[in-house]
Chain A
Amino acid sequence: MLGTSPIGSSDNASNDMAPKYPRGRLNNKSKIPWLYGLLICCKSFSALSSFFLFDFLRRNGEHSPATGVIFGNWSLLIQTLSVVQILSGIISIVVQKPFSNWNNTKLSKKEWIRIFRHAVISIILMLVWMSGLQLCGPFRTVIIAAHYNFVLAGILSGFFISKTGAKLRGGVLFATGILIMLLFDNGDTSRENIPRGQPTKSPDSDVEQSFLSASSVGILILVLCLFYKMGFEAFAKNLAVDLGGSKRLHALSTLTSGVILLMMYFVDLMSGADMIPFWSNVFTLTFITIFGFVLDYYMDSICLKRLEPAKVARVGTTSSMFAGIIYAMLWTTEETPSTSTLLAFLLIYLGVLSLTSMEKASGGGSFVGYSSDGLPLFSFSNHFSPETYVPMWKNVLKSTSSILKQIQDDAISRRLFYFSLLTMVFTGIEFLYGTLTNSLGLISDGFHMLFDSMALCIGLSASVICRWKPSKTYPFGYGRIEVLSGFLNSFFLLVIASMIMIEALQRLHDPPGVDAKRLLPISLIGLFVNLIGIYTFRSNSVISHGHSNGHNVNVKGVFLHILADLMGSIGVITSSLLIHNYGLLVADPICSMIIATLIVVSVLPLLKETSKMLLLAVPSGLEKNLQQTVLQILTTEGVKGYRNPRFWTHAPSVFTGSIHVQATEDANEQQVIRQVNNLFSSIGFTHFTTQLEKDEFIARKSFSTDYETQPSSESDIGAMQGNRLLLENNSLEGFGSETKFSSSSAVTQPGSDQEVKITLA
């Protein structure tokens, strides 16, 4: 069932049952069959409990018509979940005793906040999961949700990392199974399981209905939920380590979420919802809680710790899937699964088998211990061909967690991450509701949101990547990706603005009737989300505004994007109010045009700044300094002139440049180079290269005309204007001289290798 599966189980020796059993799977082989038996039992009961849960939800969904004002259709789910979570929270508190060892690990306020966050996210996950269950029935739910995290990671790695072998096969089988369920499996069961409040469909919408039935929407939800959970758990690993063990985290988080849900429950009751008849269902609910949530979790955690995860996954998934199919056959209220479901079942099962089989083949490594994420570590040193069986899913998990860690390290990327998560959740909700209620407006707004969250994701990845260290392929470092992302975001905004403009012009020509009532709630939600975004990034963008240099163009781009969305929402609200109240149909295009202009105006400075950087401009604040510095070179002792002064901004705070300096015959080379370099590093250049050339060199290369020499006696006469002209002329000739140089040397070039050798000899 959906509960958080164990993570970080190596570091909780202090407070769980680990002391009872000696560590490692090798020292008590006699218990292994028992454990497998227990696992099978547990899994089959857990599958049974999802059938119970579904049945319970459906019965109560049919019987109690009154729903709360606040939570609406969700109130049933919230009520059920609150009871279940409170129960399981109490049980796990009793088992786990997370408050027992207060002495060393007192929870700080910050940790409570993190637990709270964890709990809220898991509540959302469970609610979504339960609505998925409601939509597509227990059997499909069991098939989809029976998988372990690392098996899923294996699928991902099969697609993205290893292009061959069992992983890919398994992944393809799995994905095909899911697709079959999605596309062809719109059995009759789904129709009546649609939750209450399903809007009545017009009869002509039957065509679309067959395209995406409620059950396939449910499956989509479940699959998304599964993968989201995977990421979430990898993310929660840090927290688990901080709290001293994933089980402790689980207990605390369950309890917290129970409390939160209980509060929501009361709010729901106060807002006029009917209470679900719990007392008549005490048995069902207890069963669901114990077998579906508590026992399932503990069984998984014990087995994963003491047995090979691949085998556990195999046995566990097999047992729950087969239990599911048996129940589905026997269950009275459930129709027998259709052939397409069975086909999907078979495909998914085969996929899981091939996903876990490779582990079995590779299990020859000697067992060492467990990594921090609860996965066993094997030492491969004394085995043949270690490369062939390094489990790919481990790599995926590892890289995922390292990326998450990198995100967590920086305040800006953390904010970006949370905000993009929020946007994505809203996008998902909009798509979901759009497909459910078949509202085109919601779906098109969902695409808009998707685009926004893509922009956010670009910003997020840029903010992570820009902190990477310089590498061989990117010798200046990755800082430029921020500029690129800022450019990209502002460019997209410009395109969007022009599109809005075009649309507005068309509407001005022929104002369509706008359904103001329909648009209003969507744009209110959008306004809300974007206000959060503005609030989140306000401080950063203020900083960057104050810094004329544009400290963080990346965040600025994201900020502008959110700002544009905000303006869009405000515009839609205003225009729909105007249309609704005064019938001013022309308000819509006019508002759009104003917004488009505003977007363009606000985005142009950023676009200019970033494109200047991308075009290799001199650092914007440094132009004056640079001229003076270049002049100072000429006054340096031993310098006769310079050539090819080249400066550019690599990233907002990384300035780079190079210059060729002509020195007198008797100058000390090292000193001149150092002085020139010091001059440039004093005004903020991080990478600077000076090439020193002496007279004879130049004479041979016939460069002398290119040099801008300036006798020391005239240097004081040179006014600013004149010098500037000099500099300009100088750089003008830059390209020409280079071409000359290369073409003249082209003759000698092929033999350069031999030449070097000859001179060496």
Chain B
Amino acid sequence: MMLPLTKKDCDDKPYKSHSRLVEKIGGWVRLIISDRDSRNLFFFLILNLSFAFVELFYGIWTNSLGLISDSFHMFFDCTGLVAGLIASIIAKWRPTDTFTYGFVRAEVLAGFLNGLFLLFIAFFILSEAVERLLEPPEVKHERLFLVSVLGLLVNLVGIYVFQHGGAHGHSHGGGGHGHSHGGGGHSHKHDDHNPSFLSHGHSHDGGHGHSHNGASHMHSHGGDAGGTGANKQIMRGVFLHILADTLGSVGVIISAGLMWAFEWYIADPICSICIALLISLSVLDLIKESGCILMQRTPSSIDSQLPQCYQRLMQLEGVVSVQEPHFWTLCSDVYVGSVKLEVSRNGDPRYITQNAQLIFQGIGVKKMTIQLDFLLT
């Protein structure tokens, strides 16, 4: 973990001046800007919000209800970004009494939340589309066209920014549609460019880098977990969110074009249904993955390697049996484990503990607790 330990954080309590709030906000901003991902998030959020405000004020000025409702929609969309941003800040908090592992889980939770949010939106779009299918409303395409082109531009900026920001997760935007291979290649390139300082994380890269489902694919890039990788779930969620918005804008543009050219009023709901389906398909992967992490599933990337580890443990001198192995993912690519070893009376605890730690580090479990139970006989 690279925790930026700023001085201000350490002695927060002694300061009780009136400028505390300013200082706090300043601290937050510094915290946001210190990390590339959250910086991107922040700026994109500001862009989005300003767009929404411009829309809102223009809507109020021209008294156009459509614009106002679209601006509300934009605000609503921003909540996903806000959630991502907040989570990326919270994830940097240090462990406390109540949260002994720190808040790194916030990242997974934010990814999960964004996924759920998108699913909800997809459902909402679907229901609206079905209603429109039954009763196609009059759509004023001229106005819609302009707004959605602007929205598309904003979202394209977002996609561009986040594609460059945290490249690894993004292959998964397409992952739901079966493009994970292309994504894999991209991520590997990224790997090469990044001087990875935790070399041991790569030991299993080759074996799993090309598996086909999204879940194991993403775990295979365990190497660059240090800096940006920690925010992977958040960034994935946010990216999917932006992708969904972009899809929405494209859909509106297409259907507006169709309505304008051919008077196909049914194009709008059909486009909406397609978009809703696309969104839910692309988001399912994220939800499943983060749900598994939240459920404390044994990390799927080390799933297959665990039996070998037990074998090797048993080969250690003095180890009789391996009991209650528990492995789980703390946040992306940080695995935690605990295991109980039954040890014969004459086993050397130091030797066993040390080697067991090494064995599990070999597969990337960095936080390991090994309990030795000595047999009485």
A residues with CB within 8 A of B: 207-208, 211-212, 435, 438, 440, 443-444, 447, 450-451, 472-476, 478, 480-481, 484, 488, 491-492, 495, 498-499, 502, 505-506, 509-510, 611-612, 614-618, 623, 627, 644-648, 650, 656, 658-660, 669-670, 673, 687, 689-694, 696-697, 724, 727-728, 731-732, 734-736, 738-739, 742-743, 745-746, 748-750, 752-753, 755-756, 759-760
Contact = CB atoms under 8 A, between A and B. Distances in A.
Interface stretch (B40-48, B150-158, B181-189, B362-370): B362-370
Interface string B221-238: 000000000000000000
For the complex of A and B, list the 9 residue pairs with the smallest distance between their C-beta atoms, beginning with the closest.
A447-B127, A689-B338, A658-B369, A752-B358, A670-B374, A475-B326, A749-B200, A735-B1, A731-B95
A440 B81 CA distance: 33
Contact of A748 (B103, B300, B324, B358): B358
Contacts of A618: 97-100
A702 to B, nearest CB: 13
Contacts of B134: 208, 211-212, 435, 438, 440, 443
A760 B317 contact: yes
Given A492-B120, A506-B72, A648-B100, 9 more contacts: A440-B131, A616-B99, A658-B338, A697-B354, A732-B94, A743-B198, A755-B355, A760-B316, A760-B317
A405 B14 CA distance: 61
Nearest to B65: A510
B298 A673 contact: no
A704 to B, nearest CB: 15
A527 B339 CA distance: 52
A444 B131 contact: yes
B340 A689 contact: yes
A128 to B, nearest CB: 22
A756 B315 contact: yes
Given A484-B291, A615-B105, A660 B369 contact: yes
Nearest to A484: B294
B278 interface: no
B49 interface: no
B372 interface: yes
Nearest to B339: A689
13 contacts: A212-B134, A484-B295, A498-B76, A498-B79, A499-B76, A618-B98, A656-B326, A670-B373, A673-B372, A694-B349, A743-B197, A743-B198, A750-B200
A735 B366 CA distance: 10
B213 interface: no
A646 B102 CA distance: 10
A290 to B, nearest CB: 43
Contacts of B297: 473-474
A673 B135 contact: no
Contacts of B113: 491
A759 B315 CA distance: 11
B295 A480 contact: yes
Interface string B190-223: 0000000111100100000000000000000000
B50 interface: no
A370 B303 CA distance: 40
B247 interface: no
A696 B350 contact: yes
B239 interface: no
A693 B353 contact: yes
B242 interface: no
B51 interface: no
A651 to B, nearest CB: 9
A202 to B, nearest CB: 11
A760 B106 CA distance: 43
Query: Considering residues A212, A491, A646, A743, which has the most beta carbons from chain B within 10 angstroms of its beta carbon?
Result: A646
B327 A488 contact: no
Nearest to A650: B296
B298 A473 contact: yes
Contacts of B94: 732, 735
Contact of B315 (A438, A492, A658, A760): A760
Contacts of A748: 358
Given A673-B371, A687-B326, A756-B316, A502 B349 contact: no
Contacts of A447: 127, 130-131
B33 interface: no
A494 to B, nearest CB: 10
B163 interface: no
B358 A746 contact: no
B325 interface: yes
A174 to B, nearest CB: 23
B53 interface: no
A226 B355 CA distance: 61
Contacts of A481: 295
Nearest to B374: A670
Contacts of B362: 749, 752-753
Interface string B317-342: 10000001111101000000011100
Nearest to B120: A495
Given A211-B133, A506-B65, A743-B198, A735 B102 contact: yes
A453 B357 CA distance: 48
B351 interface: yes
B9 to A, nearest CB: 11
Nearest to B108: A614
B27 to A, nearest CB: 18
B200 to A, nearest CB: 4
Contacts of A742: 198, 200, 361, 366
Contacts of A443: 130-131, 134
Contacts of B145: none
A518 to B, nearest CB: 14
Contacts of A438: 134
A480 B294 contact: yes
Contacts of A510: 65
B109 interface: yes
